[in-house]
Chains A and B, each alone.
Chain A
Amino acid sequence: MQMSAVAESKAGFKEGLRAGISIAVGYLPVALTFGLLAKTTGLTVIEAVLMSVLVFAGAAQYISLSLIAGGAGAAIIIFNTFIVNIRHFLMSASLNEKMEPETRMKKAVYAFGLTDETFTVIATKEGKSTTGFAFGVMLIAYGSWVINTGIGHLIGASLPSFLQQAMSIALYAMFIGLLVPSAKKDLKVVYLAGLAAALNSLFVLTGLLNTGWAIAAASLLSAVVVEAAGRLRKGAGLL
Chain B
Amino acid sequence: MSMIWIIVGMAIVTYIPRVLPLTVLEGKELPPFLQGVLKNIPYAVLGALIFPGILLIQPENILFGVIGAAAAFILAAIGADVMLVVLGSIVVLSVYMLIG
The complex places the Cα of A21 from the Cα of B83 at a distance, in Å, of: 8
Given the known inter-chain contacts A111-B18, A197-B51, please indicate yes or no for A78 contacting B23, CB distance below 8 A: no
Contact of A170 among B9, B30, B36, B89 (CB under 8 A): B89
Q: In the complex the two chains form, is A177's CB within 8 Å of B10's CB?
A: no
Q: In the complex the two chains form, is B36's CB within 8 Å of A231's CB?
A: yes
Given the known inter-chain contacts A97-B39, A199-B48, please indicate yes or no for A108 contacting B19, CB distance below 8 A: yes
Q: In the complex the two chains form, is A47's CB within 8 Å of B37's CB?
A: no
Chain B CB within 10 Å, residue with most, of A79, A163, A218, A219? A219
> How many pairs of residues, A versus B, come closer than 8 Å at their CB atoms?
297
Chain B minimum-CB-distance residue to A102:
B26
Given the known inter-chain contacts A94-B41, A101-B27, A177-B86, please indicate yes or no for A172 contacting B52, CB distance below 8 A: no
Which residues of A are found within 8 Å of B6, using beta-carbon distances? 64, 68, 74, 77-78
In the complex, how many residues of chain B place their beta carbon closer than 8 angstroms to a beta carbon of chain A? 77
A114 contacts B by Cβ under 8 Å: yes
Q: In the complex the two chains form, is B89's CB within 8 Å of A218's CB?
A: no
Which residues of B are found within 8 Å of A43, using beta-carbon distances? 3
The complex places the Cα of A113 from the Cα of B26 at a distance, in Å, of: 17
7 contacts between A and B (CB under 8 A): A81-B14, A92-B18, A112-B15, A175-B50, A182-B43, A192-B47, A205-B52
Residue ranges of B at the interface with A (Cβ–Cβ < 8 Å): 2-11, 13-23, 25-27, 30-33, 35-54, 57-58, 64, 68-69, 71-73, 75-77, 79-91, 93-94, 96-98
